[in-house]
């Protein structure tokens, strides 16, 4: 028996034992069959030979449904692999099923999936974060060493922090978006979860690099993994004061203060900096992202995509209304309505154009800090540990605010990483590193050093 076949069987068994999490949307028999078929075809010379990698259900694969967690795409099978998937397969990796997610990646808790919520792997009463909660939970539970998610406003880093794993969002344009179902095209990026920085970085290095099928993908070579540093001598780490408000959860604050102390002990120079437009990040994001979503989701009309509504319909408008009304969940409909409103005649300048101007100011804040000698920024990933399931469903604004520390990197197109830095009452806390464009190698160096030194499983 080859190593890949043994890995395929063990992975199928582990995922089967974790069915209660509802982290994987693929049926167990289908998953096992697909894993074994891939194992037989995997290249033994590949750098990820036999490594199982689960994939969020909004990334196209030939083996599994690409449902995006939505009834409107239930049963849809892509006729092609996303570029990231093709590169994983070429490296010998095994695609380990489609993971649960908020519908069309719109959510922060994986409670908006049409197929039921994913449970937190440490506490079933809490959410694993979102929208990539299924991928995060599967890695945290030990079923796979790595998984792909997607980021539009923090949907890899936020669940990584909640579940106690590593989550990396690359620079916009570092990884091809070909085969990633579009939500917000100027924000979307495929990201990676890993049990360790090294696991996540290995997968990121494989899927990165130029792709002629994606015009937003930069003409750059694949990411090269840095060596693990002995210390952080020479690094200048900025601590943005806006990310440490007075109402920050005390446990999160203690964990971050300990991590900052460790960064100093590792030799880094730590200085306070300011990103003054940070308070406007969430309202800016929740204008731009829904606007782009309203455009991208217009194709799901019962003609081009999605099941056609049954019964006699008066006209095309009725067809659209019935198809989308039955196919889309409440959160997707809410964002389409918001996006259509802010793009409508008479409101475009007041909302969408203004949001784009503020987005430019947020990006300029980061440039100002990095131009003044700061190499990386360190912040909390989330303002609280994982919250209770159902606690924020009735108040969408409170749900949106859980992304307050992560959506800025998407608006600015910067690379960012979350890694575990402690626990509060048994729940993981994540610390975030944000770097300049295309300097993932420096960000990974600091993450390697911090991961090795910080007591991630210790109470803060």
Active-site residue, 56 included: yes
Active-site residue, 33 included: no
Active-site residue, 388 included: no
Catalytic residue among 155, 205, 208, 294: 155
Catalytic residue among 7, 56, 108, 109: 56
Q: What is the 3-state secondary structure (H, E, C) of the chain?
A: CCHHHHHHHHHHHHHHHCHHHCCECCCHHHHHHHHHHHHHHCCCCCCCCCCEEEEECCECCCCCECCCCCHHHCCCECCCCCHHHHHHHHCCCEEEEEECCCHHHCCCCCCCCCCCCCCCCCCCCECCCCCCHHHHHHHHCCCCCEEEEEECCCCCHHHHHHHCCEEEECCCCCECCCCECCCCCCCCEEEEEECCHHHHHHHHHHHECCCCCCCCCCCCCCCCCCCCCCCCCCCEEEEEHHHCCCCCCHHHHHHHHHHHHHHHHCCCEEEEECCCCHHHHHHHHHHHHHHHHHHHHHHECCCCECCCCCCCCCCHHHHHHHHHHHHCCHHHHHHHHHHHHHHCCCCHHHHHHHHHHHHHHHHHHHHHHHHCCCCEEEEECCCCCCCECCCCCCCHHHHHHHHCCCHHHHHHCCCEEEEEEEEECCEEEEEEEECCCCCHHHHHHHHHHHHHHCCCCCEC
Catalytic residue among 7, 67, 108, 131: 131
Point out the residues that are catalytic.
56, 131, 155
């Amino acid at each position: 028996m080859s190593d890949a076949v043994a890995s395929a069987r063990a992975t199928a068994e582990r995922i089967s034992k974790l069915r209660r999490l509802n982290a994987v949307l693929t049926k167990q028999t289908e998953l096992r069959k697909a894993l074994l078929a891939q194992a037989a075809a995997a290249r033994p010379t590949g750098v990820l030979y036999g490594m199982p990698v689960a994939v969020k259900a909004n990334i196209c694969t030939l083996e599994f449904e690409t449902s995006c967690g939505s009834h409107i795409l239930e049963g849809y099978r892509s006729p092609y692999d996303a570029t990231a998937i093709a590169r994983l397969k070429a490296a010998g990796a095994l695609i380990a099923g489609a993971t649960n997610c908020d519908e069309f990646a719109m959510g922060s808790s994986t409670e908006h999936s049409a197929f039921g919520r994913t449970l937190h792997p440490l506490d079933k009463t809490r959410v694993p974060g979102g929208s990539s909660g299924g991928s995060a939970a599967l890695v945290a539970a030990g079923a796979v060493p790595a998984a792909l998610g997607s980021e539009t406003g923090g949907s890899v880093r936020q669940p990584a922090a909640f579940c106690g794993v590593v989550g990396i969002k690359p620079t916009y344009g570092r990884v091809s978006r070909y085969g990633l179902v579009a939500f917000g095209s100027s924000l979307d990026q495929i990201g990676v979860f890993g049990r360790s920085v090294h696991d996540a970085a290995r997968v990121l290095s494989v899927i990165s690099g130029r792709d002629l099928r994606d015009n937003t993908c930069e003409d750059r070579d694949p990411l090269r993994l840095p060596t693990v540093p002995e210390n952080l001598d020479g690094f200048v780490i900025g601590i943005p004061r806006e990310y440490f408000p007075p109402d920050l959860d005390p446990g999160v604050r203690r964990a971050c203060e300990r991590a900052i102390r460790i960064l100093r002990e590792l030799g880094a120079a730590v200085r306070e900096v300011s990103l003054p437009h940070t308070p406007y990040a969430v309202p800016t994001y929740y204008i731009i992202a829904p606007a782009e979503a309203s455009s991208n989701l217009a194709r799901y009309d019962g003609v081009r995509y999605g099941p056609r509504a049954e019964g006699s319909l008066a006209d095309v408008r009725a067809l659209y209304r019935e198809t989308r009304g039955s196919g889309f969940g409440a959160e997707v409909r809410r964002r389409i309505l918001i996006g259509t409103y802010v793009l409508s005649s008479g409101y475009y300048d007041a909302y969408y154009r203004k949001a784009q101007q503020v987005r430019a100011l947020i990006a300029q804040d980061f440039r100002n800090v990095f131009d003044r000698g700061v190499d990386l920024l360190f912040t909390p990933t989330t303002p609280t540990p994982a919250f209770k399931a159902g606690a924020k469903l009735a108040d969408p604004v409170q749900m949106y605010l859980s992304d307050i520390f992560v959506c800025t990197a998407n608006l600015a197109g910067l690379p960012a990483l979350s890694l575990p830095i402690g626990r509060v009452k048994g729940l993981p806390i994540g610390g975030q590193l944000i770097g300049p464009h295309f300097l993932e190698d420096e960000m990974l160096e600091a993450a390697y050093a911090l991961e090795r030194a910080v007591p991630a499983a210790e109470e803060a």
